[in-house]
Amino acid sequence: MRVLFLRHGESAHNAHTGEEELSAELGDVLTERGRAQAEAAGEGLRDQGITRLFTSPMRRATETAEALGAALDLRPEPIPYAFELHHGETFADGIERVHLLKARFEQEAAAAGDDDLPLLVTHGILTRFFLLDSVLGDAFTAQVAERIWHLGSANCAVSTFKVGEVVEPGGAPAAVGWTCLSWMARPWDPQ
């Protein structure tokens, strides 16, 4: 089964360039540009066969998911542990939430099979953690996570993961487990 991860649209925090800090409440809303990004992503994903729409409980993600849901004719379902990693949260806490996501999607894959295509609207850091845990396994450590910013992300960009076996062309060994098939793509964005 494939699972799509979409980073939320541009938030006030993402766009903020001032020296004064924004409150969490003011920073966690989509900007006008973020709403336009979410609408464009919804239009771009409309014909992809998405069967379920999940979202982080954080406002910038739920606002993005609502715009996607309108285009996809799906109601967003919150996943309470799919939120952004926050100040004070440990590396182990973040990994635990990634493992909860993986277990949930693996259970759904076993029940629904390859015809199910869920999309999760979430956050850049959580998506990076998901990727690096999938690629590195136990070698993904807190020390490695310090360099996570070297892995770029973009607002309203989609990453595709697959659980199961992925056979590489040309006879290369198959990858088993979670594989990243695409990273932070925005084919609907003309820029």
pLDDT for residue 23: 60
7, 170 contact by CB (below 8 A): no
Residues of the chain with pLDDT under 70: 16-27, 190-191
pLDDT for residue 43: 96
pLDDT for residue 190: 61
pLDDT for residue 79: 97
Taking each helix axis from N to C end, the angle separating 32-45 and 59-72, rounded to the nearest 10 degrees, works out to 40
pLDDT for residue 17: 65
pLDDT for residue 27: 55
For the CA atoms of 127, 130, 133, 135, what is the dihedral angle to 10 degrees?
A: -80
pLDDT for residue 18: 67
Instruction: Measure the CA–CA gap between 83 and 56, rounded to whole angstroms.
Output: 5
